[in-house]
Amino acid sequence: MPLIAPSILSADFARLADQVRAAEAAGADWIHVDVMDGCFVPNITMGFVVVEALRPVTRLPLDVHLMIVEPERYVERFVAAGADLVTVHVEATPHVHRTLQLIRSAGAKAGLAVNPATPLDWFEDVLGELDLALLMSVNPGFGGQRFIPRSLERLERLSALRERLNPEVRIEVDGGVGPANAAELVRRGADVLVAGSAVFGGGAVAENLRALRDAAQA
């Protein structure tokens, strides 16, 4: 059964705690936290303080996605703030292997993300060090973007690579995920679906999350 990780990037920050609690009550599996620095991506979002504030609000794992340059400088602080999983971008650091080791030594699970135009070959040498492989299906930086169709073929190739090198790794897809494509993403190998607008973009969080889960299991 696929996991659903609502992204708080699309939540109402004036009611963030309430929306996270609503997502947990509705059956969310993880809470996805998008950290952006205005340098690696053209947007600035949140940091340690938000992660620390969310930790007592929910029992769900906090899935922290670092879209920042030199993430190795900050991963330990995010783990100390309460992150259960920390994902860094292969494009953001020259020290991928060292950064993954830092995440694990700090006590969190380690993830690696690739942007839509980044070759999947980057995963080959580090897949054995990963708990999570994150495939971006939009260009990172903003919520509410349209899914890039070619991501489906990339997902199939990543799934095949995972089966060959480390079947224990979960594949997460982030960007443009909703009820219309959830089942196809799962069929092609996704284990974790990140959804922001589809959950928090309007209407009741519980109903939106239920619709997404029903679609993913269809």
Indicate whether 68 pLDDT > 90.
yes
**Residue 34 annotated to the active site:** yes
**The whole model's pTM is what?**
0.96
Does 1 score more than 90 pLDDT? no
Q: Please give the pLDDT value at position 114.
A: 97
% of the chain exceeding 90 in pLDDT:
93
Of the candidates 29, 34, 37, 191, the residue annotated as catalytic is 34
Q: Measured on CA atoms in the order 22, 24, 25, 27, is the torsion positive or negative?
A: positive
Known catalytic membership, residue 37 = no
What's the DSSP call for residue 11? S
Specify the pLDDT at position 142: 73
CATH class of 3-217: alpha beta
Ordered by start, the domain boundaries in the chain are 3-217
pLDDT in tens, 92-104: 999 999 999 999 9
Write the Ramachandran bin of 184: left for phi over 0, alpha for psi from -120 to 50, otherwise beta. alpha
- Residue from 37, 63, 131, 174 carrying the catalytic annotation: 174
pLDDT band at 196 (very low <50, low <70, confident <90, very high): very high
Q: What does the block give as tokens for 49?
A: 């303080």
- pLDDT tens per residue, range 12-47: 999 999 999 999 999 999 999 999 999 999 889 999
- Annotated binding-site members: 7, 32, 34, 65, 141-144, 174-176, 196-197
Q: Nearest-CA neighbor of 57 among 29, 84, 79, 31?
A: 31
Q: Are 40 and 68 in contact (CB under 8 A)?
A: yes
List the binding residues for a divalent metal cation.
Answer: 32, 34, 65, 174
CA distance 27 to 4: 8
Binding-site annotation: residue ranges for substrate:
7, 65, 141-144, 174-176, 196-197
Which tens digit of pLDDT belongs to each residue from 113-147? Answer: 999 999 999 999 999 999 999 999 999 877 767 99
